[in-house]
Amino acid sequence: MRQLIIRGGQRLSGALEVEGAKNAALPILCATILTDAEVILRNVPHLQDVVTIVELLKALGKRVEQPERNVYRITAQGRLRAEVPAELVRRMRASFLVLGPLLARLGEARVSLPGGCVLGPRPVDLHLKGLAQIGAEIGLVQGGVEARGRLHGAEIYLDYPSVGATEQLLLAAAAIPERTVIRNPAFEPEVEDLAHFLEAMGARITWGREIEVHGAERLHGADYRIIPDRINAGTYMIGVALAGGRARIGCRPAHLEALLRKLRECGARIEEEENAISIESSGELQPLELETGPYPGFPTDLQPQMTALLSVARGTSIVRERVFPDRFAYVPQLVRMGAQIRVSDSTAIIKGVAHLEGAAVQATDIRAGAALVLAGLAAQAETVVLDEGHLARGYSDIARDLRALGTKIRWEDQD
């Protein structure tokens, strides 16, 4: 177990470029299953989850090289295997996205049901229902999925604009040389980045109220650069607003409209450039109401970080979580730091306090851990965040990034 020691009370200042988007890199790495040709991926983030998906690609028969820290070269070496090692899928939910591409290429696939963050039950029924609509015969055998069949084009309707289900279906449809339409899809920038990558491989995809895919039997290789991580950029913007100070964060402002609106509403001053934002804050923040939702709504992955910020706003705020009903497991940890938060019916009522108290707290998932680190910026004295590997799954080094903004923060191995 490692722990992060944060000394609170300093203002932030400096500049930071975030790495590539985790939630774009993972489905794009899965998409390399669709071709035997060489694929070069650039701006791939240096994360534990990327290591996991690379292990999985190698287990399926791909050769994966890493000529540079953020560059991967993927080629085929022999036949693809249809069986995915259960341990890797249970470790990380995104591994489930290999089901569609394996099925599209081999006509069969066996994948165990996913694990990943404990954000309440995280079913994959929409993935399976969609794959069945394009011709897959799906069987559930002892905690795993067996799928087979020759896939064909179809018009699919998603009951909920699920990010994963949309990506699963894009990955399969890209290899079907017919027309497939996905109705009520997710429009997250990471889904769009996957679509752009599939187009670079030879699929034709039109992106409107619904997504229309004309796949290809044989997809070719590509050399592709992944978009910046808007959730990590947003995490650091919230840190600056919360602690006070001024910083320039490299990102795509267009991917963060909902967050920028809310940060302005609580009093931060923000200037937007093409590939960066500058944010300035006095640290005196106004309370507000926010509700998470599918893109372009407020991202659920920034909900814990915003709740940490609102814990020290000048008044009472309301945060409604509409994507993962029980995404408030981190709240008792904030309360240990003196926050006044009540949660009921997936809604947090936050009564702002003048400041938080440093304490020893525990990260319960990637974004909960990030929220506790940000809370440490607003706390008096020292905060210790105990972390059993959650943070490294989503942030290549959150301490390095916050030190670049002037924070006194360090990792320690817990004895």
When CB distances to ligand EPZ are compared, the closest residue is 164
Order the strands of the 408-413 sheet from edge to edge. Answer: 360-362, 382-387, 2-7, 408-413
Quickly list DSSP for 20-44: B-HHHHHHHHHHGGG-SS-EEEES-
Task: Give the binding range for ligand EPZ (CB under 6 A) out of 1-9, 38-46, 161-169, 264-272.
Answer: 161-169
Task: For residues 46 and 19, give the distance between their C-alpha atoms in angstroms, rounded to a whole number.
Answer: 8
| Alpha-helical runs (H) found in 120-174 | 125-133, 163-173
Please say if 266 is a catalytic residue: no
Task: Give the binding range for ligand EPZ (CB under 6 A) out of 119-127, 250-258, 271-279, 395-403.
Answer: 119-127
Taking the least distance from each CB to ligand EPZ, the nearer of 114 and 215 is 114
The partner residues of 3 in beta bridges, in order of sequence, read 386, 412
Under the binding rule (CB under 6 A), the answer on residue 26 touching ligand EPZ is: yes
What does the DSSP 8-state code read for residue 343?
E
Least separation in angstroms between residue 99's CB and ligand EPZ is 12
| Burial tier of 220 (Cβ tally within 10 Å: 0-12, 13-18, 19+) | middle
Task: Give the binding range for ligand EPZ (CB under 6 A) out of 159-167, 172-180, 213-221, 241-249.
Answer: 159-167
- Binding residue for ligand EPZ, selected from 6, 39, 60, 94, defined by CB under 6 A: 94
Taking the least distance from each CB to ligand EPZ, the nearer of 35 and 168 is 168
Task: Give the binding range for ligand EPZ (CB under 6 A) out of 103-111, 116-124, 135-143, 283-291.
Answer: 116-124
Task: For residues 226 and 212, give the distance between their C-alpha atoms in angstroms, rounded to a whole number.
Answer: 22
Task: For residues 368 and 301, give the distance between their C-alpha atoms in angstroms, rounded to a whole number.
Answer: 9
Question: For residues 353-412, which are near ligand EPZ according to CB under 6 A?
Answer: 366-367, 394
Least separation in angstroms between residue 231's CB and ligand EPZ is 6
Q: Which token pair is 390?
A: 């959650």
Binding to ligand EPZ by CB under 6 A, coded x per residue (else -) over 265-304, reads -----------------------------------xx---
Least separation in angstroms between residue 199's CB and ligand EPZ is 19
Q: Which token pair is 102?
A: 């394996």
Question: Quick check: 111 and 98 in contact, CB under 8 A?
Answer: yes
Whose tokens are 């609170």? That residue is 8
Under the binding rule (CB under 6 A), the answer on residue 323 touching ligand EPZ is: yes
The residues of the shown chain that bind ligand EPZ, judged by CB under 6 A, are 22-23, 26, 93-94, 117, 122-127, 160, 162-165, 186, 188, 300-301, 323-324, 366-367, 394
- What amino acid positions are annotated as catalytic residues? 117
